[in-house]
Amino acid sequence: MGLTARPRDRWIPWAVAIVAATSVYAVAVAMTGGFKFSLGTLRFSSHSWERPAAIALIGAVALTMRARGAIAGYVGRIAAAVESTTFCRTAVVAAGIWTLAVGIAFGTFASGGADSYGYVGQARLLAHGRLTDTIPVSADFTWPNVDYTFTPLGFTKGTRPGVIAPIYPPGFPLLLAPFSALSEHALYIVVPLFGVLLIWMTYRVGALSGDPLAGAVAALLLAVSPTFLYQVVQPMSDVPCAACWMTALVLASRGSTRSAIASGAVSSLAILIRPNLAPLAAVVLALTVASSASARMRRAVYFIVSIAPGLAVLGWIQDVRYGSPLASGYGRASDMFSLSNVTPNLARYPRWITESHTPFIWVSLAAPFWIIRRAAHGPLAWASVVFAAAVWFAYLPYVFFQPNEWFYTRFLLPAIAVMLVFASAVAISLLRLLAPLRRVPLSAAMLIGVAAACLIYAERQGAFDIHSQEQKYPRAGEYVRTRGPANAIVLAAQHSGSIRYYADRPTLRWDLLSPTRLDQALATFRAQGFEPVLVVDVGEYDSFRNRFAASHQHAVEQLTPLAVLGDARVFGFGDGSSR
């Protein structure tokens, strides 16, 4: 019995639309705290979610009482439509568009601190055909650890005096370099594009494993994941790394010679981006072999051959930068990985994952039961489970962070994508046991509830505010370049890399300078024709003063404010006269 046959039921779609619209409106107001804007002389504001929620509830009750039969028919058709490939792919496309919009609208479009400058600064070097950078060298620089004091965040001491090398692996900067050569802003689109790729590959893992709807739901939930949203707006390697590994899994599952070559090449890029995850290639290789019964040895050989060039490039770059193909910018592996870190990380990562993604994500622990009963591509499903577990094991021995630094779940992003696939698959398989009239609203409530909780967490943790926070770096750099002394040498810690990037001025790490050598360093700079300038964040100013005042360094008392640029402060050092 359809609506077209019963004119008196034509009010039902309008009522459903009103209920849906007021429900979404209530959720939006509850999440954001409301809104206020003006249109000419008209002013609009809304800060109450209770009234639209009440309207939605009353409408839902009315629909249930007056049109139960018609609604049951509609819900049945909705349930069938939701299972279609067209709906699933449409949902994934929407998630991709959302990802691209968020990545551009809230993107930092700035390079500063250790991570973003470490990648973007390295990309600029690569775009100019260079693997290392240089720092000032002079026999007059006699304070302790001279090379380190001139080394900005994101870089480390090179193999020769006056040479510094990026700390971070070269894979992501290699992706940025062509865009860096195009324009200053072009490179910031790379991460959002890889975000779209990660969304699509998350869907493909679910679809190929046997449940396209689960893949689509996982893609939607990944698009609102606080970890994903926090990283897709920054020029950092986490999203590209996850996208490459998920792509490698999907390609390996196809079981052909071409897919083995492609999977090996993408795995090679993933290793270049984050070498410590290289053991994941074994999982992808196993999937390559297991995906088809024919020509297994040939596919394995092609995979290994295609992964080799990336490993060779990585070894060569590390040899040039650090003196050994097996060395890294992070130092010794024992400095970063230890079994003593496992317990603190077990106390942090699961809690962070639960708080940021809701307990729903742990439904993924039932993945083996779903795979045994429903998986259409067993090798891919099992490989994905092993893959996610391997990512977790890779970071449990890693150095641990402060209990409130939840954003380090970024290391687990490849596992998060897989966990969302299987959490969605298990939940949907259970919901399918219900009649459509119950299944559809419960499924919608689950999806909306989890998505809303994730968005609220992301908003409260500042995922959408990073752009405004990071603008201090280009603003300070632009000030020093255009309004500071042409012969400036800049004392900086947090801004030590961004000043080099935006102002093209040498920097001295005041936080690494001996507390008794500030006056000496400034006098030396002036003797060589430099004019010293200090750039600090608000929180660094007191640290600077306290570090050098205790040693009675006169330069502390000569600080002259020059500019306030958001959270950044620029100071001169008076007239440079000694006391």
What is the DSSP-derived secondary structure letter of residue 131?
Answer: S
Q: Establish if 59 belongs to a structural domain.
A: yes
Helix (H, G, I), strand (E, B) or coil at 160: coil
Instruction: Enumerate residues 6+ apart whose C-beta is below 8 A from 547.
Output: 510, 511, 515
Q: Based on the domain organization, do 196 and 223 belong to the same domain?
A: yes
| Domain hosting residue 139, numbered range | 115-184+471-572
Task: Judge if 272 and 409 occupy the same domain.
Answer: yes
User: How far apart are the C-alpha atoms of 316 and 310, rounded to whole Å?
Assistant: 10
Question: Alpha-carbon torsion 404, 405, 409, 411, what sign?
Answer: negative
Q: What whole-number distance in Å separates Cα of residue 256 and Cα of residue 250?
A: 12
Residues 454 and 477 in one domain: no
**Cβ(229)–Cβ(265) under 8 Å?**
no
Which residues, 6+ apart, have CB-to-CB distance to 432 below 8 Å?
A: 439
Return the pLDDT at 2.
Answer: 43
Whether residue 464 is contained in a domain is answered as: no
**C-alpha pair distances (Å), 206 with each of 349, 411, 543:** 24, 22, 50
Domain count, the chain: 3
Please indicate, yes or no, if residue 89 is contained in any of the structural domains. no
Contact 443, 428 (CB under 8 A): yes
> What would the two tokens of residue 141 be?
């620089």
DSSP symbol at 143: S
In this prediction, residue 72 carries a pLDDT of 66
End-to-end CA distance of the chain: 95
100 within a domain of the structure (yes/no)? no
Three-state DSSP class for 38? strand
Q: What is each CA distance from 37 to 43, 271, 348, in whole angstroms?
A: 6, 48, 41
Asked whether residue 103 is assigned to any structural domain, the reply reads: no
- 125 shares its domain with 214: no
The DSSP secondary-structure symbol of 276 reads G
Asked if residue 203 and residue 180 are part of one domain, the reply reads no
Q: DSSP code of 1?
A: -
The whole-number pLDDT of residue 136 equals 93
Pairwise CA distance, residues 360 & 366, whole Å: 12
| Whether residues 123 and 208 fall in one domain | no
Nearest to residue 155, comparing CAs of 129, 184, 125? Answer: 125
* Burial label, 47 (beta-carbon count in 10 A; 0-12, 13-18, 19+): exposed
61 and 140 in a single domain? The answer is no
Which stretches of 358-471 are DSSP H helices? 367-374, 378-395, 413-431, 436-460, 466-470
Task: Answer yes or no: are the C-beta atoms of 539 and 511 closer than 8 Å.
Answer: no
For residues 220 and 200, give the distance between their C-alpha atoms in angstroms, rounded to a whole number.
10
Largest pairwise CA distance in the chain: 96
Q: How many CA atoms lie within 13 A of 378 on its CB side?
A: 5
Give the pLDDT confidence score for residue 564 in this predicted structure.
Answer: 95
Q: Are residues 249 and 354 in the same domain?
A: yes
Q: Give the 3-state secondary structure of residue 43.
A: strand
Tell me: do 391 and 302 sit in the same domain: yes
Q: What is the mean pLDDT of each run of 10 residues along the chain (579 residues)?
A: 51 74 75 60 70 81 69 72 91 97 96 95 96 95 95 95 96 96 92 98 97 97 98 98 98 96 98 97 97 92 96 97 94 90 96 97 97 95 98 96 96 98 97 85 87 92 94 96 96 97 96 96 96 95 94 93 95 65
578 assigned to some structural domain:
no
Same domain, 250 and 399: yes
Residue 71 in any domain: the answer is no
The answer on 423 and 281 residing in a single domain is yes
Token duo for residue 363 = 């439904």
The pLDDT of residue 66 is 67
Contact 299, 288 (CB under 8 A): yes
Q: Does residue 388 belong to any structural domain of this protein? A: yes
